Amino acid sequence: MKVRFAPSPTGLLHVGNARVALANWCLARRAGGRFLLRLDDTDAERSKSEYAAAIEEDLRWLGLDWDESFRQSDRLDRYAAAAERLKAAGRLYPCLETEEELAFKREQRIKQGRPPIYDRAALKMTQEQLGRAIANGKQPHWRFLLSPREVTWTDGVLGRRTVKLPSLSDPVLIRADGGFLYTFTSVVDDLESGVTHVVRGEDHVTNTGVQLDIFAALGGSPAALRFAHLPLLTDSDGGPLSKRIGSLSLRQLRRDGVEAAA
């Protein structure tokens, strides 16, 4: 067994993060497996080195150790190589629509009583049209061409789950500025680092269907990955916890005198 805890160093860990980390750590230690700490820091604008250091400090305060760790920012060449493989296979395609154009398309589809998913108009663009647009200063973002199928798995917490890929928009994996998105980098890392079990919040259920499709497109065996999606901790109003709620950060709880065991 190999599990991973993959926080983004864009803020302090809160109790919801700690719960996911603890679940992964306990599973790995009980099974004699490995616990990977992965810092998902590809958002260069929001990721801070002080938050990365705080994450490690807070985990140690909780008594959670790890067997290996790495930062996604050190693996950009691996994501670029994986992207080239998807492009060569026809599974990653360039799009030139602006946010405003995409918003307008969604509004029109809703008015027509159709689901507001991307219409794949970019697939009709010729290489000549793309080259001309790039020569005029436009940079494409890149979408993953989802398979026309359902993805089903037996979840370790929720039981049998199915995601219908045709009901979803092809996800953007690479922004126009060249930045890689979590949906993509997480799959590349899970595949190349040998993760066997992914334990995370139930807000990622739809992501799992998409990521299993990407996993297969990159040559991985979806059967080699097992998933478990935990119910989310919520605030007093029933909303999701956020790193912006400072009072629920591990750092503030420790300052308030709360013991790590508690």
Query: Which one from 2, 87, 105, 243 is the annotated catalytic residue?
Result: 243
* Secondary element (H or E) of residue 26: helix 15-31
Torsion of CA 42, 46, 48, 54, to 10 degrees: -100
State the amino acid at position 120 in one-letter form: R
In 3-state terms, what secondary structure has residue 166? Answer: helix
10 Å Cβ neighbour count for 31? 13
Residues 245/23/44/72 CA torsion (nearest 10 deg):
180
With beta carbons less than 8 A apart as the criterion, state whether 39 and 7 touch.
yes
Q: What radius of gyration, in Å, describes the C-alpha atoms of the chain?
A: 20
What is the CA angle 212-90-139, rounded to 5?
A: 100
Gap between the Cα atoms of 252 and 234, Å rounded: 18
Q: What is the C-alpha separation between 157 and 209, in angstroms, rounded?
A: 16
> Measuring CA to CA, which residue among 195, 190, 243, 189 is closest to residue 54?
243
Looking up tokens 């065996």, which residue turns up? 221
- Asked whether the beta carbons of 187 and 214 are under 8 A apart, the reply is yes
DSSP, collapsed to helix, strand or coil, labels residue 230 as: strand
124 is catalytic: no
Catalytic residue IDs? 243
